[in-house]
Structure 1
């Protein structure tokens, strides 16, 4: 899948360590004990808005 995106020529992939992306780190810890391969959240899980910042939680 990623190789196909790169072949299109209008995509770039940048690697970020999980520790450098607090949202990804939060979600990884949240999903770790779950058995399913995929989780779909209609709204951000409790605690995630703290990492997203006020612009994502409706604040100013």
Structure 2
């Protein structure tokens, strides 16, 4: 997980969740465990340069 996403979650999302759900403790707020990014590159099967540019 990128540090930028973790900082945004800790600074913005977590306090909003604590307020909206009336959590009394920071450990009651759900944690981010795993983030998966899925990208379809179906037409890149024939051209390996497209795969390289998509991954960059």
Common fold, TM-score beyond 0.5? no
Rg larger for: 2
Q: Which has the higher helix share?
A: 2
- What is the TM-score when the length of structure 1 is the normalising length? 0.29
